[in-house]
Amino acid sequence: MGRPLAYDPEKALDTAMQVFWSRGYEATTLQDLLQAMGLSKSSFYQAFGGKKEIFLRSMARYREKIGQGLSQLLENSGSAREFIERMLLNSAAEARRPNETRRGCLIMNTATECAQKDGDIAGEVSSGFEGLRALLCRAVRRGQAEGGITQEVEAEALAGYLISSLGGIKMVVKGGADEERVREIVAVILRALD
C-alpha cells in the first residue's frame, strides 16, 4: 500500500484552474503551476500527467463550476428573462473588474488563445460552448413557456444569439463601455427576445 497523498488533488486541480484562468494556457509555465499548487515536479507528473493534461482537467472543472452556478442562478430567478438579464449584466460587471482580478471566461479566452492549435483543447472549448448552449436553451424554453420570450424563433437559435451577445458584451466592456452603455445593449438584446 502506498503512502497517503500529502496534498488534496481536488484542491490542487482548483488551484491549477485558477492559474490557467488568470494567465491563459500558453503564458502559464510548469513552474507557475508547481509554485501555486505546492507540488514537486515528480508529484505533479505522477498525479496529473503534464501541463496539457491538467489544463484539460481544469477546463472540465471550470465547465462544471460555471454550469452549476448558472443553473443555480436560473433556478433562483423569478423568470427566464430575469435570468438572462442578470447573466449578461453579471458578465459585464466581471469584465469591468480591475485588470488583476478581471479574467473573463476561461472557455472564451481559450477559444481565442489556442483552440485552433490543438484538437483536444478545441474539444474542451466545444464542450464548454455546448454546455452553455444547452443551459440557455433550457432558459429560453422556460421563457417561451412563461410567455416572456418569442416562440417564433427556435430556442437553439436564440441560445446561439445569447452566446454571441455574451461574448460581444465582454468585448465592448473591455473596450471601455460604461455601465449605462452596457445596460442599453442588454435592453436591446432582451427586446430581440420579444
pLDDT tier for residue 101 given thresholds of 50, 70 and 90: low
Look at 104-108, 118-122, 184-188 and tell me which has the smallest mean pLDDT: 104-108
pLDDT tier for residue 3 given thresholds of 50, 70 and 90: low
Has residue 20 got a pLDDT over 80? yes
CB 47 within 8 A of CB 12: yes
DSSP 8-state symbol, 105: -
What integer pLDDT is reported at residue 125 of this predicted model? 95
CB 80 within 8 A of CB 140: yes
Over residues 155-194, the pLDDT tens digits come to: 999 999 999 999 999 888 888 888 899 999 999 999 999 9
- Dist CA 60 CA 65 (whole Å): 9
- Dist CA 1 CA 4 (whole Å): 9
- Dist CA 28 CA 171 (whole Å): 23
Q: Give the cell for residue 103.
A: 479574467
What kind and span of H or E run contains 95? helix 80-95
Q: Full-prediction pTM beyond 0.75?
A: yes
Q: CB neighbours (10 Å) of residue 147?
A: 9
Burial bucket for residue 88 (CB in 10 Å: 0-12, 13-18, 19+): buried
What integer pLDDT is reported at residue 98 of this predicted model? 67
Q: What architecture is the 9-191 domain classified under in CATH?
A: Orthogonal Bundle (1.10)
Over residues 27-85, the pLDDT tens digits come to: 999 999 999 999 999 999 999 999 999 999 999 999 999 999 999 999 999 999 999 99
DSSP 8-state symbol, 123: H
- At a CB cut-off of 8 Å and minimum separation 6, what does 14 contact? 61
DSSP 8-state symbol, 116: G
Q: Give the cell for residue 149.
A: 420570450
